[in-house]
A and B are shown apart, each in its own frame.
Chain A
Amino acid sequence: MANRSVWSDNRFWQRSAAWVTGFAAILLIWLTFDTSMQISMGSDEDLKNGVTKRVPGPTVINYKITYEMDAKRGHEVPVIGEKELFFGRDDWSEEEAGALLHLGKLGSQAKNCMNCHTLLGNGAYYAPDLTKAWLDPAWGPEGSLQAMTGKPTKEEAMAEFLQHPSQYPTHERMMPNLGITAEEAKGLVAFLKHMSSIDTNGFPRNFGKIKGAVHGK
């Protein structure tokens, strides 16, 4: 072997592979620590003091949430506003709200929501994205979905729909009955409201801002 070259030396490439992999892994782990801190759930204290968290605490259900353009960041962000009733109360304690969110998150997995819908944009594409479903104008006071259920509030309308989805078809493609109880439905709505308050860097873009863009106007 007269012409030896580093470039055709397996040991060299083996070491390079080990170093590159090690370096990337260490960087990922380091970033994971930082990200974990930034996405840990906030507390009731934070909400009361107006401290913005990327993932607010469960008591965010006591507040009104909107999705507003942030000029500095150049996209919409969830804004937590004044107090708002949620199933008739705006004083859900940290424990109560936490328990409700726990029930809802468990419910979302036990009913396999993610294999029809997307949550934070991940999942299946057979049904609408749920990331900001709580903020969908259709569930609002003048919205068609709220009207369809005949319920006076957004949360009650959503809970009613979740318990009897196939009684309220909006399209030929329907949501099936998944045996969701009244309590589970409450939890699921809390989970959806909480999810809508997560700072998703502006996804989805223009959510609920464009009315009738396709049909006329």
Chain B
Amino acid sequence: MADYQLIIIGGGLSGIAAGIRSARFGLKTLLLEQHTIPGGLNSYYYRQGQMLETGLHAMTNYAQPGDKRAPLNRLFRQLKLSRKQFTTHEQYCSEIRFPDASLRFSNQPLLLEEEIRTSFPAAVDRFSRLKELVAAYDPFTPAPWRSARNFLAETLGEPLLEEMLLLPLMVYGNAEEHDMDLGQFVIMFRSIFMEGFFRPAGTIREFLSLLTNQYREFGGELRYRALVSEIVRSGDRIQGVRLAGGELISADAVLSTVGMPGTIALTGWDLPAKAYGGQMSFMETVSLVPWEVAAAIEPRRTILFYNTRPTLCYQRTDSFLDLSWGVICFPSNFVGVEAEPYAQIRNTNAANYALWKAAAPEEYRELKAAWTRAAVDNAGTVIGAYRQEVVYQDSFTPLTIERYTRKAEGAIYGSPLKIKDGTTPWPNLFIAGTDQGYLGIVGAMLSGVTVVNQHLLQ
């Protein structure tokens, strides 16, 4: 008999959610995470006694408790977590800002419609039609790739509006350059424009504890400092995993959440890892400023998506950072978040992994400092200068992300090719998380749940 019925590699959001499902129904489950804390891409760390979140701008898919069909509430039921007892803070209002137009949106979908009525009066009926098509589309049944850009052009025929709508949807959930698959567009459109942004009360640390406690409550085992160095094959099946220290742990089935390039390397899978390398990576800078300073800039904006050009160049930049477009997030600007001495401002720009990777260590440090300054000054041109007010600052380059999470090329959204059905050539090895295809925090958790439901529980 194998040591475990299921081994899950990776204690990120998809791995923990998958673990909750399998442990809840009695599978003997082991979750292996290389670090000493869970969360992966959306985790936390300590600097000078201060806890900082690595990711969390906002969770998507906001839904009121009681709305049973909403993806967020379905996810909570699947994880057997009480939605009623889960305190959330909704966004005030976010904004898409282009040179000649701006659109605000909130968790009330009517706001966006009213904004479009004001700025693009000729397109408002076509936008209503777009919403109907999005509501009717089934993005979960596998279908051939279809261009979201072509769909938008056919439905709206208003190029500036099309570019503006694509910005939040791409930057929060598109692994491809230039265009996105229509199914992914529909998922993102619903989760951002129809459902909306919120933050869980507290920080990502409390949210992760809620999840890991639930997993352990159901009898799941969790090992930290457990770096998997090999997925062990035996004939045409997977036998288990080997840890970096040499220990072999056997399992009836293995679920990998470490992405396709990582899974290819661990199995010796005969596939070109390069094709699964992500193209889109980002640099993120977190600045702490006195609370009043953050409250004075862009009061009541939650997330600002800006572009200095009329078209969106969603692609790997040929410079270290692309400062022409980006995201600025105010994690304190959610309804009901209590004032603290300091507030965060987070800004995100597309980055070029290869350039960062090529820099020698000393040069890398200097480049990072220089580009952090440039990114903050650039954000300052959008929201008003704040660099002088910063009391603490940290940035993550694509290299930081790759080093910490082993996501190839620091590509947050992983491979442009997704393994939507979660299967591999081995009947007892499955893929969940970023490279299965559902992205973001809610998406990663849904991915873990879905793959376990489909392949391990039935």
The judgment on whether A and B are partners is no
B interface residues, Cβ below 8 angstroms from A: none
